[in-house]
Structure 1
Amino acid sequence: MHRDSAVQEVRVRSVRVPMTEPHKTAGGIVAESPLILTDVVTDSGTIGHSLLFTYTPAALKPTAELIRNIEPLIKGEPLAPAEIEQKLTKKFRLLGTQGLVGMALAAIDMAMWDALARIHDLPLVRLLGGSVKPIRCYGPVGFDGEEGSARAAERAVSRGFRGVKAKIGYATVKEDVNVVRAMRKAVGPDVAIMVDYNQCLTPAEAIARLRVLDDEGLVWVEEPTLAHDYAGHARVSREARTPIQCGENWWGILDMRHAIEAGASDLVMPDVMKIGGVTGWLRAATLAQANNLQVSSHLWPEISARLLCCTPTAHWLEYADWWNPILAEPLRVVDGIAIVEDAPGSGVEWDEAAVQRFVV
C-alpha cells in the first residue's frame, strides 16, 4: 500500500489560457485564466496534480516562486496531507496563511491529496470515506445586460443546467431587476436563479436593493457588500428575505468561523483554493454541518464536485469551463448533474500538449 511514500519533488508551471468568451463582472472583465499547475512527485513515482487560478497574471510568478520555496520544507516528508498542513501552518504563523501564501499552501495540499488517492488506487471521494452522489450544477451568466444575460441563461438551460447565476450591480436597482426578469422569462419558472454583486454595494445600498429584489424569487444574493465586512453582511441578512451567500473570499477556516459567528451568511460557498485545499474544505464542511448551513462551491469544478460528494450539507456546484482546454478529462455535466468518474485521484489530469501551447 506504499505506506512509506514520501514527497520527493514539487514541480510548478504557469500557463495563461484564453477564455472562449470573456467573463464580465461588476468589477471588470476576466478574459483569460492565469493558472499555476503543481505536481507533487512521490518517491514511489506517483504524481499528484493541483491547479491554482491567480485571477491576474501579475500573481503568477510570485505564487509559483512561493510554491517552489516551500518544497524544501516538505521534501522527504511522509505523504500525509493533513499532517503536512499542520507543519506548514506553524511555519507561516507569523507571516500568515492568507493571500498568495494561502494559495501556495493549498496548491501543495490539493496535489498531495491527489497523489495519496492515486497511490491507493482510489477516487478522492472514496479515499475521504464518501460515495458518489448527484451534485446539481448551475451555469454562469456574466455582467451582460438584459438581452445578453437572458441569452446566456437560456444557453445554460439548453445544456441541462437547472440553475443559473448572473453578475449584477448595475447603476440602478431597476436595471438589476430587469436583468433578473429577462432571465426568468427566458428560462421559465422552474429554473433556480442566483445573483452575485461581487462586493460592489455598501450595506445600506444592499439593504435598499434587496427590499426590491426580495420579490423576485432568487435562491440567493451573493456578496452584496465587502467580503470581510461580516457586520455589514449580517445587517443585510437581517433585513433581507432572500438568503445571503458568502464564502468565496474566506481565507481558511478562521474567516469562515468569524463570518458564521457574526451571522453574515445564510448559506456558505467556500473556495477550495482559499479555504485551504482539501484539508481546509473538510474542516469547512464539518463547521457548516455543525451550524446547519448548506454548502455550495466556488469554481474548481473537478475537485469541488468530489468534495461536495463528501459534504453532508451539499447544495450547488458552480460550473465554469475556464480551464477545460488544459485538462485531459474535464468534468462532465449531464442533465445538470456533475458526473464524478471512478478514476483514481481528484479528477485533475493534464493535457500535456495543450499545456505546452499555453505555458508562460
Structure 2
Amino acid sequence: MDFELADDALGLLSPAQTDLTPGEAGNVIVAVETYALAVPLAQPLADSTAALTSWIVPVVEIRTADGRVGTGISGVHTGPELLCQVIDRYYAPALVGASSEDILGTWKRLYWLPTHWIGRAGVVHMALSMVDIALWDLAAQRAGVPLWRLLGGSADPIETYNTDGGWLNLSVADVVRDLGSLIDRGWRRVKIKVGKADWREDASRVRAVRKVVGADITVMADANQRWDLATAQRMLPVLAEAGMDWIEEPVHADDLGAHQRLQVVGTVDVAAGESLYSYHAFASFMDADAIRVVQPDVTRLAGVTEWLQVAHQAAGHGLRLVPHAGDMMQVHQHLAGVVLAESPPLLEFIPWTQDVFEHRSVVNEGFAERPRAPGASTAVNPRAREKWQLKGVGGRTSNE
C-alpha cells in the first residue's frame, strides 16, 4: 500500500530542510517502507502463554537521499500489520524530509505525536523502536563501523545462554534431550520454561532437568507471568533447591509489589523486562528492588536510544543486565557490553530468524562473535523477503 505525503501530517508539519550542505542533503529521509516476514519454525513450540508455528519479523526500511537504507526490525507472535500501520500512517509523514542523523530529536518528536496518548507502551512504542533501530543502523553505516563499535563496545566475544531447548510443550524427556544437544555444542547456560496449570508439574520438571544436566550447567526458569503470587512463593524453595540462576517473569509483568515481595524473601534472583516498555517502568522496578536481573528488549523499548538509558540505569544499580531477545539477538549482539557494569555481559540466543538477514549471527561454543560489517546487522536478505513476506502487510511513503 502506498501513502501520499500530505503537507500536514495530523497537524504536525514535517521539518523543512533549508540551507543544507551537500553532505547534509544526503542524510535527508526520502522514503519509508514497511513489510513483515513470517519465518516458519522447525517444530511447533509453546510457553505458558503462547503456541508458535512461526516467528514474525516486522521490518521498516528508511532510505536517504544518498541511497543508503537503514533497516529496523521487531519480533512478534501476531499483529505485525499494526506496527506497520503506525509507521505508515503516523511516523512516515513526520520522517520524510527530516534528517536521519537527528536520532534523539526524531525519537522525541515521534514519541510526542498524538499517538502518545494511545501508546506509551505496546504497538505504538514498538513501532518507534523499529524506526530508532533503522536510524542507528544508518548512523553506523555512515561511520563505516558495526554499531557496537560506534557505541564504544569492546571486540571481545559475548557469552550467550540458549532458550531453544526448554519449551513447555515438550516432555521432560524431550527437554532433557534438547538441552543435552545444546550442552554438547558448547552452551554452559540454558533456560527452561515453566508455568504448568499444576505447580507440582513445574517442580518435577525443574528437579528432573537439574538432575540430568548436572551441577556445572547454569539453568534459568521462565514462567512467562503465569503464576500468581502464592504459586510463585511455593516454587521459590524448589527453584533454590535446584540451583536455578533466576526465575523470569514469575507473576504478572505489571505487578511491581509481587515482584518486590518475591525478591525480598527468595534466594533466587527475579528477572523481568521483556514486558516493560519504558525506562520509567524499569526505573520503578529497580528503585523498589523488585528485580535483580534486568532484561530490556530493544524491540519492546523504543529502540537503541531507550535501551541504552535502561542499561545505564541497571549498571548504576549494580544489577545484572541480560537483554531479552525479541530480535533473536540480531541487534542485541551489538548492544551487550557497551555500558560500564560490574557483571560480564550475557545474551539470550534463539536461532529462529538467522536466515532472514544478510549478516547472520556467529556463535561458537556458546560465545557470540562481534559483527564486522558496518551497521546494526538488520539488513534483510532479499531471498528471505521473497520466501516469507506476508501479503497485504506494510506500505511505502516517499517524496521521490
Deviation at 1:240, TM superposition (A): 0.9
Task: Give yes or no for contact 1:2–1:119 (8 Å, CA) kept in 2.
Answer: no
Whether 1:307 and 2:329 are equivalent positions in the alignment is no
Deviation track 1:102-131 (CA, whole Å, cap 9, x = no partner) reads 111000000110011111211101111222
In the other structure, the counterpart of 2:380 is 350
Which structure 1 segments of 5+ residues have no match?
Answer: none
Task: Give yes or no for contact 2:271–2:294 (8 Å, CA) kept in 1.
Answer: yes
Give the whole-Å Cα distance in 2 for the aligned partners of 1:201 and 1:335. 34
Whether 1:119 and 2:147 are equivalent positions in the alignment is no
Whether 1:186 and 2:212 are equivalent positions in the alignment is yes
> Which one of the candidate residues 75, 86, 89 is aligned to 1:66?
86
Q: Which aligned pairs between 1:186-225 and structure 2 lie closer than 5 A?
A: 186-225=212-251
In the other structure, the counterpart of 2:274 is 248
> Which one of the candidate residues 96, 99, 106 is aligned to 1:78?
99
Whether 1:142 and 2:167 are equivalent positions in the alignment is yes
Give the whole-Å Cα distance in 2 for the aligned partners of 1:110 and 1:178. 41
In the other structure, the counterpart of 1:288 is 314
Give the whole-Å Cα distance in 1 for the aligned partners of 2:23 and 2:298. 27
Letter in 1 for 2:229: P
Q: 1:110 to 1:280 in 2, by over 3 A?
A: same
Of the structure 1 ranges 21-30 and 249-258, higher mean CA displacement relative to structure 2 is found in 21-30
Give the whole-Å Cα distance in 1 for the aligned partners of 2:272 and 2:330. 21
Give the whole-Å Cα distance in 1 for the aligned partners of 2:135 and 2:50. 34
Task: Give yes or no for contact 2:275–2:300 (8 Å, CA) kept in 1.
Answer: yes
In the other structure, the counterpart of 1:21 is 43
> Which one of the candidate residues 239, 259, 266 is aligned to 1:233?
259
Deviation at 1:26, TM superposition (A): 1.2
Task: Give yes or no for contact 1:153–1:186 (8 Å, CA) kept in 2.
Answer: no
With the length of structure 2 as denominator, give the TM-score of the two structures. 0.86
Q: CA RMSD in A?
A: 1.6
Secondary structure of the 1:32 match is strand
Deviation at 1:89, TM superposition (A): 1.6
Secondary structure of the 1:275 match is coil
Q: Which has the higher contact order (CA 8 A, sep 6+)?
A: 2
Give the whole-Å Cα distance in 2 for the aligned partners of 1:205 and 1:39. 44
Q: 1:3 to 1:294 in 2, by over 3 A?
A: farther
Deviation at 1:65, TM superposition (A): 1.2
Of the structure 1 ranges 85-94 and 280-289, higher mean CA displacement relative to structure 2 is found in 85-94
Which structure 2 segments of 5+ residues have no match?
Answer: 1-21, 391-400
In the other structure, the counterpart of 1:110 is 133
Deviation track 1:51-90 (CA, whole Å, cap 9, x = no partner) reads 111211xx12222111112111111211221221011122
Q: Identity of paired residues, percent?
A: 28
Deviation at 1:138, TM superposition (A): 0.9
In the other structure, the counterpart of 2:187 is 161
Task: Give yes or no for contact 1:33–1:55 (8 Å, CA) kept in 2.
Answer: yes
Secondary structure of the 1:279 match is helix
Deviation at 1:234, TM superposition (A): 0.6
Task: Give yes or no for contact 2:83–2:124 (8 Å, CA) kept in 1.
Answer: yes
Give the whole-Å Cα distance in 2 for the aligned partners of 1:146 and 1:74. 50
In the other structure, the counterpart of 1:275 is 301
Letter in 1 for 2:88: R
- Whose helix proportion is higher, 1 or 2? 1
Task: Give yes or no for contact 1:138–1:164 (8 Å, CA) kept in 2.
Answer: yes
Deviation track 1:302-342 (CA, whole Å, cap 9, x = no partner) reads 21011003133354211011212322222111011011122
**Number of residue-to-residue matches in the alignment:** 358
Task: Give yes or no for contact 2:158–2:347 (8 Å, CA) kept in 1.
Answer: yes
Deviation track 1:275-323 (CA, whole Å, cap 9, x = no partner) reads 1110011101111111111100111202101100313335421101121
Task: Give yes or no for contact 1:331–1:339 (8 Å, CA) kept in 2.
Answer: yes
In the other structure, the counterpart of 1:323 is 353
In the other structure, the counterpart of 1:46 is 68
Deviation at 1:185, TM superposition (A): 3.5
Task: Give yes or no for contact 1:147–1:182 (8 Å, CA) kept in 2.
Answer: no
Secondary structure of the 1:273 match is coil
Deviation at 1:209, TM superposition (A): 1.2
Q: 1:184 to 1:112 in 2, by over 3 A?
A: same
Give the whole-Å Cα distance in 2 for the aligned partners of 1:7 and 1:100. 23
Deviation at 1:2, TM superposition (A): 4.2
Deviation track 1:257-276 (CA, whole Å, cap 9, x = no partner) reads 11112222111001111111
Of the structure 1 ranges 135-144 and 185-194, higher mean CA displacement relative to structure 2 is found in 185-194
Q: 1:208 to 1:8 in 2, by over 3 A?
A: same
Letter in 2 for 1:54: V
Give the whole-Å Cα distance in 2 for the aligned partners of 1:51 and 1:21. 23
Deviation at 1:173, TM superposition (A): 3.8
With the length of structure 1 as denominator, give the TM-score of the two structures. 0.95
Task: Give yes or no for contact 1:295–1:311 (8 Å, CA) kept in 2.
Answer: no
Secondary structure of the 1:9 match is strand
Secondary structure of the 1:102 match is helix
> Which one of the candidate residues 362, 365, 368 is aligned to 1:338?
368
